[in-house]
Amino acid sequence: MLRMSLSRLALVAAVSALVGQIGLAQAQDKIRIGYAISKTGPFAGGAGVTTLPNYQLWVKDVNAAGGISVGGKKLQIEIVEYDDRSNSEEAVKAIERLGTQDKVDIILPPWGTGLNLAVGPTLNRLGYPHLAVTAATDRAPEMAKRWPNSFWFLGPSKAGAAALSEVLGKLKSENKIGAKVAMISVADAFGIELATAARAAFKSAGLELALDKTYPIGTQDMQALLKDAMATGADAFVAFSYPPDTIAITDAARILNYNPRVYYTAVGTAFPVFKGKFGASAEGVMGVGGWNVDSPALQAYFKRHTEVIGREPDRWASPVTYVSLQMLQQAIERVGKIDHAAIIKELQTGTFDTIMGKIKLADNIMPVVWWVGQWQKGEFVGLAPTSYEGAKSPLFPKPEWAK
Amino acid sequence: MLLLDILISGLVLGGMYALISMGLTLQYGVARIMNLAYGEFLVGAAFLAFWLYTAPGISPLAGLVLAVPLAFLANWAIYRWLLTPLVRRAKSRGQLEVDSILATFGLLFIVQGIALVIFGGQYYSYGYLSVPVTVLGTTLALNRLLAFVFAALIGVGLYIALTRTRTGTAIRAIAVNPTAASLVAIDVRTASAFAFALGGALVAVGGVLVSMFLTFNASMGVVFTMKALIVVIVGGVGNVMGALVVGLALGVIETAVTRLVDPGLTLAVTYALFMIVLLVRPQGLFGSALR
């Protein structure tokens, strides 16, 4: 009974979404950009932090500067927005609708690895460029080959594990930490991929896993897991976690006064809510992400984001999202018309001037992805890959949790 | 002492489960409204607590003074104007359940939509009373311990009120058989509205208290609805003591599985128990009626 009513309600929602479309002006002096994003459902948290604010900021920035120049004319951006309800079928349907009914000029991607993989075939068939920004998967090179219109901005998770073992391996070679690492991971796509990659990467860096446990998504009490981690006596603690877990784990670690010399939590560590909640206790916590804090362009971006959106960006994929949009704009302007094939070609081969400096994609993959960052004096600085411009050395050992 | 440690941490986790479930058991068991928007109200209360704490700096515990009466009135109004027409036209308990599921499913989107417009989709978290306390050698977060204490007080208090007072007896009578209850001059409609509103007030207590330690966002309500539903069904629909005991037991079982077996299996064990109870004792461990 519930099933039937659910599908009926879905129908109502779909109809009302369509009705909302009628009456949209089809003026020639606009460039219409559409996207489906998770405004509700479990992905809304990630989309609301990383993706949506940057779409809004970029549209505002571009329109304030007159618009996108296409063939000597400045076109204002007009937005067509759908909620994919964190559901891959909905996302695919919405992309289909954007491409075939709304006939928008450009389609922006949804949030998350899963949804980007889900809409990949549709965007490929429709021929739109696909900026898979918030997608971190080891299949990125394979996908880029299969769908030449797709561009992957967070790299493979293998690189994430490699960067983390680079940091840990160096500390071990300096005899600052022992070989033992306590690792926990969330039993969901990104957590599984990272943990799998880390098992191999840690081994080759001479590290051994004293604890290797997974927990189900949505676990609300982390104390039990942390007690196991404490019992191992490992100097380094690594959690491949999602945002709510990241906060719950850190909260529990503080309560238990579990203060390993290296403390790393994954997704969410770079979110403003983390700093907001833990304040001085965040000092020395490592996590996924980071940025070059010395870059004036990025500093300006942070300031603008905070002013326009009303809160700080996350320190991982937020600037990358903005970079992808800058690249898109420049590609359109260089092509001079809405010619998807030509725009895709330009994105594949061009070099773009962005807030992260000059960016040229290599085989459709973003070359600069910060994988390890650390809160240092209230800012989430990039630590690794250590070869990047602006990479800092880690604050070691992690200071005591603030009282 | 590993076992004692598991027991204490488990009870505290279970206290949270019980706390978020007792409101639903009243709404579903007595007022016969399967409230799918339950979790949304919980998140709504969490947002209220967050807002009170961050803007005027009112502590969540003081915030309860505002949140609880507000939730009581709001839920009373919802029952009075939104759900009473459904109750009136429903020919059977089954039909009322289906209708209330549909209506509250719509309500879910309204409440969630309002929260999205005001707060956006991002995560919220703040810390209040996030300080360690040691109970019999086990370190606990004070805010979680507090949620457990509230759950125990509310559970026992409600149990006494329902079994020892006249109004309580009337409410229990409705839970058992609304038609027969009206035959013995119980005002079923008013008492049902009261039970629904009381359930709503309990949700608010739960929402305010869990906001002190859980990370939440506007679309997280369903997580709480699901957890509460499991506790309510296993404990016996409408049985406050059942919700308390099962909530606590669930916490202990999850903690034991995490520490002794594997954390990856906690969900599997939870749902396995849920299924066993549905198969063996569909009316729930504590029977179908309030005791």
What does DSSP assign to residue A291?
Answer: B
Give the start-to-end residue ranges of the domains of chain A.
13-156+297-360, 157-293+372-384
| Partners of residue B125 in chain A, C-beta under 8 Å | 247, 273, 276-277
Residue B250 maps to a domain: yes
B180 inside 8 A of chain A by CB: no
- For chain A, state the CA radius of gyration: 22
Average pLDDT over residues A39-63: 92
Rounded-to-integer distance, Cα B125 and Cα A272, Å = 10
**Mapping DSSP to helix (H, G, I), strand (E, B) and coil, where does residue B75 land?**
helix
Q: In Å, how far are A39, A269, A306, B85, B218 from A48, measured between CA atoms?
A: 7, 16, 14, 37, 10
Q: Inspect the interface and report whether the beta carbons of A277 and B255 lie closer than 8 Å.
A: no
Q: Measure CB to CB from residue A48 to each of B122, B140, B264 and give the nearest one.
A: B122
Rounded-to-integer distance, Cα A360 and Cα A348, Å = 8
Top-confidence residue, A137 or A55: A55
User: Where would I find the H helices in A240-295?
Assistant: 243-256, 272-278
Strand A236-240 and strand A180-186: the pairing is parallel
Residue B167 maps to a domain: yes
Residue B210 maps to a domain: yes
Q: CB neighbours of B290 closer than 8 A, spacing ≥ 6?
A: B29, B30, B162, B171, B172, B175, B176, B238, B239, B240
Q: Which structural domain range is residue B131 located in?
A: 2-280
Q: Which residue is closest to A314 within chain B, CA to CA?
A: B122
Strand A262-265 and strand A236-240: the pairing is parallel
Q: Inspect the interface and report whether the beta carbons of A42 and B213 lie closer than 8 Å.
A: no
Please state which of the four CATH numbers 3.30.830.10, 1.10.150.120, 1.10.730.10, 3.40.50.2300 is assigned to the domain occupying A13-156+297-360: 3.40.50.2300
Top-confidence residue, A398 or B29: A398
What does DSSP assign to residue B187?
Answer: -
Q: Which residue is closest to B141 within chain A, CA to CA?
A: A255
For every residue of B86-133, which 3-state class applies, written as one string? HHHHCCCHHHHHHHHHHHHHHHHHHHHHHHHHHHCCCCECCCCCCCEE
Q: Inspect the interface and report whether the beta carbons of A247 and B266 lie closer than 8 Å.
A: no
In this structure, are residues B136 and B8 in contact, taking their beta carbons and an 8 Å threshold? yes
Q: Measure CB to CB from residue B121 to each of A5, A6, A45 and give the nearest one.
A: A45
Q: Sign of the CA dihedral B203, B22, B169, B163?
A: negative
Rounded-to-integer distance, Cα A236 and Cα A3, Å = 47
Top-confidence residue, A230 or B180: A230
Q: Measure CB to CB from residue A42 to each of B9, B126, B219 and give the nearest one.
A: B219
Question: In the numeric block, which tokens belong to residue B122?
Answer: 């991002």
> Mean pLDDT in chain A?
90
The list of chain B residues with pLDDT below 70 reads 287-291
Rounded-to-integer distance, Cα A324 and Cα B179, Å = 64
Q: Measure CB to CB from residue B263 to each of A1, A49, A214 and give the nearest one.
A: A214
pLDDT given for residue A28 in this prediction: 57
Rounded-to-integer distance, Cα A237 and Cα A235, Å = 7
pLDDT given for residue B202 in this prediction: 93
Q: CB neighbours of B75 closer than 8 A, spacing ≥ 6?
A: B41, B196, B197, B199, B200, B201, B203
Residue B53 maps to a domain: yes
Q: Inspect the interface and report whether the beta carbons of A251 and B127 lie closer than 8 Å.
A: yes
Residue B285 maps to a domain: no
Element housing A11 (H / E): helix A2-21
Please state which of the four CATH numbers 3.40.50.700, 3.40.50.2300, 2.60.40.10, 4.10.93.10 is assigned to the domain occupying A157-293+372-384: 3.40.50.2300
| Partners of residue A40 in chain B, C-beta under 8 Å | 112, 116, 121, 218-219
Q: Is the pLDDT of residue A6 over 70?
A: no
User: Where would I find the H helices in B120-239?
Assistant: 142-164, 166-176, 178-183, 188-210, 221-235
The one-letter code for the residue type at B253 is I
B219 inside 8 A of chain A by CB: yes
B132 inside 8 A of chain A by CB: yes
pLDDT given for residue B55 in this prediction: 84
In this structure, are residues A266 and A286 in contact, taking their beta carbons and an 8 Å threshold? no
Give the gap in angstroms from C-alpha B71 to the nearest C-alpha of chain A. 23
DSSP conformation letters of A147-164: -TTEEESS--HHHHHHHH
**Two domains, one topology: A13-156+297-360 and A157-293+372-384:** yes
pLDDT given for residue A13 in this prediction: 52
Q: Which residue is closest to B17 within chain A, CA to CA?
A: A220
Rounded-to-integer distance, Cα B54 and Cα A378, Å = 19
- For chain B, state the CA radius of gyration: 19
| Partners of residue A1 in chain B, C-beta under 8 Å | 98, 101
Q: Measure CB to CB from residue A215 to each of B101, B120, B264 and give the nearest one.
A: B264
pLDDT given for residue A18 in this prediction: 45
Average pLDDT over residues A364-375: 94
Where do we find the tokens 């594990």? A161
Instruction: Quick: pLDDT tens for A140-168.
Output: 899 999 999 999 999 888 899 999 999 99
Q: Is the pLDDT of residue A123 over 70?
A: yes
B85 inside 8 A of chain A by CB: no
B125 inside 8 A of chain A by CB: yes
Instruction: Quick: pLDDT tens for A191-222.
Output: 898 999 999 999 999 999 999 999 988 888 89
Q: In Å, how far are A77, A282, A329, A378 from A308, measured between CA atoms?
A: 17, 25, 20, 21
Rounded-to-integer distance, Cα B75 and Cα B38, Å = 11
Q: Measure CB to CB from residue B127 to each of A187, A271, A277 and give the nearest one.
A: A277
What does DSSP assign to residue B214?
Answer: -
- Of A340, A382, A357, nearest in space to A124 by CA: A340
The number of C-beta contacts closer than 8 angstroms across A and B is 130
| Partners of residue B98 in chain A, C-beta under 8 Å | 1, 5
| Partners of residue B139 in chain A, C-beta under 8 Å | 223, 255-257
- The tally of domains found in chain B comes to 1
Give the gap in angstroms from C-alpha A70 to the nearest C-alpha of chain B. 33
B50 inside 8 A of chain A by CB: no
Q: CB neighbours of A114 closer than 8 A, spacing ≥ 6?
A: A88, A189
Give the gap in angstroms from C-alpha B117 to the nearest C-alpha of chain A. 10
B102 inside 8 A of chain A by CB: yes
Residue B107 maps to a domain: yes
Neighbours of B269 (CB within 10 A): 17
| Partners of residue A215 in chain B, C-beta under 8 Å | 258, 263-264, 266
pLDDT given for residue A1 in this prediction: 41
Q: Inspect the interface and report whether the beta carbons of A40 and B219 lie closer than 8 Å.
A: yes
Which of B258, B259, B260 is the best residue to mutate to test the A interface, defined by the most A CB atoms within 10 Å of its own CB? B258
pLDDT given for residue A10 in this prediction: 52
Calculate what percentage of chain A has a pLDDT beyond 90. Answer: 78
Q: Which residue is closest to B128 within chain A, CA to CA?
A: A277
Residue B287 maps to a domain: no
Which of A56, A251, A281 is the best residue to mutate to test the B interface, defined by the most B CB atoms within 10 Å of its own CB? A251
Instruction: Quick: pLDDT tens for A245-294.
Output: 999 999 999 999 999 999 999 999 999 999 989 999 999 999 999 999 99
Which of B217, B222, B248, B261 is the best residue to mutate to test the A interface, defined by the most A CB atoms within 10 Å of its own CB? B217
Question: B243: domain CATH number?
Answer: 1.10.3470
- Of B12, B81, B70, nearest in space to B41 by CA: B70
Q: What is the signed CA dihedral for B239, B244, B246, B252, rounded to 10 degrees? A: 180
Which of B215, B266, B271 is the best residue to mutate to test the A interface, defined by the most A CB atoms within 10 Å of its own CB? B215
Whether this prediction's pTM lies above 0.80 is answered by yes
Q: Inspect the interface and report whether the beta carbons of B264 and A214 lie closer than 8 Å.
A: yes
Q: Which residue is closest to B226 within chain A, CA to CA?
A: A218
